[in-house]
């Protein structure tokens, strides 16, 4: 996915459409992995760590083999930071899933 270096987007601080500088950021907020989320608990159950006493070897066994976690996504969610050129304030812009990101000068 090709993304231009600058975009004209709405700035809530200036209350208008301004030129913004685009940079890529790491996933934050609701995209973050939770240790006790449903997906995470499923993962732990597949490793045999969900029920019973003791820590059952804890997390030292390594990752789940691929046959248990088939259908894993190959793409990652894109998170962009848009920094306003006028006020200098930035905001995070969560985008769609992509395999590759390219921020071009155009
Ligand atoms: Zn602004």
For residues 1 and 78, the answer to whether their CB atoms sit within 8 Å is yes
**Integer Cα distance of 4 and 105 in angstroms:** 6
pTM over 0.95: no
**Integer Cα distance of 42 and 36 in angstroms:** 10
Q: Check residues 39 and 1 and name the one with the higher pLDDT.
A: 1
67 to 46, 60, 71: CA distances (angstroms): 11, 20, 9
Q: What is the pLDDT of residue 50?
A: 62
Between the CA of 89 and the centroid of ligand 1 the distance, in Å, is 6
Between the CA of 27 and the centroid of ligand 1 the distance, in Å, is 23
Between the CA of 91 and the centroid of ligand 1 the distance, in Å, is 10
Per-residue pLDDT tens for 42-77? 777 776 666 666 655 555 556 556 555 566 678 888
Q: What is the CA radius of gyration of the chain?
A: 20
């Amino acid at each position: 996915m090709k993304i231009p270096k600058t975009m004209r987007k709405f700035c809530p601080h200036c209350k208008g459409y301004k030129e913004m500088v685009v940079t890529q950021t790491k996933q934050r907020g609701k995209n973050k992995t939770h240790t006790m989320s449903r997906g995470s608990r499923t993962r732990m159950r597949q490793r045999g760590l969900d029920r019973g006493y003791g820590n059952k070897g804890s997390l030292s066994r390594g990752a789940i083999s691929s046959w248990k976690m088939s259908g894993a996504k190959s793409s990652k969610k894109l998170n962009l930071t848009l920094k306003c050129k006028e006020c200098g304030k930035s905001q995070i812009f969560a985008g769609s899933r992509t395999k590759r990101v390219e921020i071009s000068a155009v």
